[in-house]
Amino acid sequence: MSTTSRPSPTDLEPGLVTWRKSSYSDPQGQGDCIEIAEAYTASHGLVAVRDSKNPTGPALLVPVTAWNAFATATAAGEFGTV
């Protein structure tokens, strides 16, 4: 699929994408964590983000440039400590 194709909600159906948690996640899964679908990013040019505690819930689709700005700002501590 090209990065110009329009995303469809069915693209994120279980089994069609692999979700990955941050290496900073709580290993027991008790903390707040998000997951991203990396292959979806490569095929659509969008970062698919979901709540790891609600894997069947909705996902956000964020442009790669916005996600990169968010990740950079987070790493720089611009949002404070969590």
- pLDDT tens for the chain, 82 residues long, are 445 566 666 677 767 788 888 777 766 666 678 899 877 777 778 889 988 888 888 888 899 999 999 999 988 999 887 5
Q: What is the pLDDT of residue 69?
A: 96
- Cβ density class 31-54: b for 16+ within 10 Å, e for less: eeeebbbeebbebbbbbbbbebee
Q: What is the pLDDT of residue 68?
A: 93
Strand pairing class (19-21; 34-37): antiparallel
Q: What is the pLDDT of residue 1?
A: 42
Q: How many residues does the chain have?
A: 82
Q: What is the pLDDT of residue 2?
A: 44
> How many Cα atoms are found within 13 Å in the side-chain-facing hemisphere of 65?
0
With beta carbons less than 8 A apart as the criterion, state whether 72 and 45 touch: no
Q: What is the pLDDT of residue 27?
A: 67
With beta carbons less than 8 A apart as the criterion, state whether 46 and 54 touch: no
